[in-house]
Structure 1
Amino acid sequence: MSDKPRLWTPKGWHAFEDGTAMAAACADRVAAIVESAIAERGHAVVAFPGGSTPVPAFELLARRPLDWSKVSILPGDDRIVDHDDPLSNFAMLDRYFGGTGARLIPLVDDVASGATHAESANRRLADLPWPPDLVWLGVGGDGHTASIFRGPDYREAIETEARALKVTPDPLPPEAPVARITLSVHAIRSARHRMVSLRGDDKRMVLLEALSDGYKSRFPVGVVFGSASGEVSGEFYWSPA
């Protein structure tokens, strides 16, 4: 990597001393977006990330006295597994938000066949008010975000106007060797607000390099958040651990 990311941070970059402070800031920001959306449009549609990084923020957010009955929550991506599978991002959302009264929207059907998962997800998303008020994502050490990986489905993920698509990472990550359903770049970029949360210096350097290169980046997250004009659109929450 070049030294450029060490000297540059984009507009919307927020750095915190630790994960506790970052979680509180993320919970505050998401709550503010939800409250504003409900006040302006009577409902909020939000997509949340998987992984361990957002969990402390989920714990704080789920205790907020929001009008949860007017909130629809979906995963930004999910593994094609049953909803009770430990790999399911929907299961994680249900664990933290299932008791709030929010409407939880799965991307994956327990009963759908592999050939119809994307169609099923898109039919479900078509029933939601669109665009989403927030798409909140993570970023992997390889620069992927949601389940937008370099690989055989990468071009489709970038070019399709569908809200969701099926992707099969190549190679499959050993910790989760299954195909996924993910929001497309088009769907993510359509959101009124976009944010990323991440921990660790390695991921920070990957993200900053990706954002500095924008839509020409070799990393998917740079393509998602960059543009031909060189501007970066989003909010980025980072802590060292």
Structure 2
Amino acid sequence: MAWTEHVYEDADALGAALATVLEETCRTALAERGRAHLALAGGRTPFPAYRRLAQRPLEWRHVQVLPTDERCVPHDHPAANITELRKAFADAEGLLLESLTVESGDPAQSEAQACRLLAFQPDAFDAVVVGMGMDAHTASLFPGAKQLPAALDPASVLDACRIDPDPLPPEAPFPRITLTLARLLRTRSLHLALSGEGKHDVLRVAQSSQDALRHPIAALLNAPDQIVHVHWSP
């Protein structure tokens, strides 16, 4: 089994526990390497954990955060993940928060920026937090996207790439920039945060799936040499 499941009574308990795990991860990284580097998902489930984490007394000037994926929209657009992350970490004074997209959100320029940014950060993340959609996508690795096979290639030398969901989600009909599977797996700890019975049912199907093109989250769950910590609440 490539995963271990942590079950919480409600979303508040999940947020508190995940914040503590990330705080401990940062403290260990700061003590051992002098810096901490996190890749964090957007979405409703993990944001309470980020807000709690931002209030912890860490050496924030030595902590770096970047999104696991971003929508290609201007940074002042309501759908911009980077803006929501900035709000969540408003109390983390000194934190370096990097963006995968350029200010305008231009997809081609954003893909180039993300690749340049990650080329200068080859070391493993200290923690990666991902979510999962009802279609079993994770980060922006959407089933049906033409770029998905390349993005899921475990031997890929690409750290980030553009993804065009097909069909585009009606609530967020934008191209995306996402970390590739290979880059998501290059981490010292990997966490999947989700809530609700519906998501739990999708997770169960994905855990037994060998078809990552249909269930992209399965590529993480079944990856060799990596344990996924699944944090779930009803």
1:130 to partner: Cα distance: 1.6
The aligned amino acid for 1:128 is Q
RMSD between superposed Cα atoms in Å: 1.9
Aligned with residue 130 of structure 2, among 133, 137, 152? 137
- Report the equivalent of 2:176: 180
1:103 to partner: Cα distance: 0.1
Structure 2 residue 187 is matched with structure 1 residue 194: no
Structure 1 unaligned blocks of 5 or more: 1-8
Indicate the SS of the match to 2:152. helix
1:157 to partner: Cα distance: 0.9
Structure 2 residue 134 is matched with structure 1 residue 124: no
- Report the equivalent of 1:204: 200
Alignment CA distance shift 1:11-1:122 (3 Å): closer
Query: How many angstroms apart in 2 are the aligned matches of 1:44 and 1:165?
Result: 24
State how many pairs are aligned.
230
- Report the equivalent of 1:238: 232
1:232 to partner: Cα distance: 6.5
Structure 2 residue 71 is matched with structure 1 residue 94: no
Indicate the SS of the match to 1:124. helix
Query: How many angstroms apart in 2 are the aligned matches of 1:17 and 1:90?
Result: 29
Alignment of 1:1-241 (within 5 A): 11-100=3-92, 101-111=94-104, 113-128=106-121, 130-151=123-144, 152-159=146-153, 160-213=156-209, 218-227=214-223, 233-240=227-234
The aligned amino acid for 1:86 is P
Query: How many angstroms apart in 1 are the aligned matches of 2:41 and 2:108?
Result: 24
Choose 200-209 or 65-74, whichever is displaced more: 200-209
Aligned 8 A contact 2:72 2:177 in 1: yes
The aligned amino acid for 2:222 is G
The aligned amino acid for 2:230 is F
Structure 2 unaligned blocks of 5 or more: none
* C-alpha distance after superposition, 1:56-79 (max 9, x if no partner): 112211110011111000011000
Alignment CA distance shift 1:112-1:209 (3 Å): closer
Aligned 8 A contact 2:148 2:213 in 1: no
Aligned 8 A contact 1:108 1:121 in 2: yes
Identical residues among aligned pairs (%): 37
Choose 49-58 or 162-171, whichever is displaced more: 49-58
Alignment CA distance shift 1:170-1:112 (3 Å): closer
1:112 to partner: Cα distance: 6.6
TM-score, structure 2 length as denominator? 0.92
Aligned 8 A contact 1:46 1:134 in 2: yes
Indicate the SS of the match to 1:78. strand
Indicate the SS of the match to 1:213. coil
Alignment CA distance shift 1:183-1:236 (3 Å): same
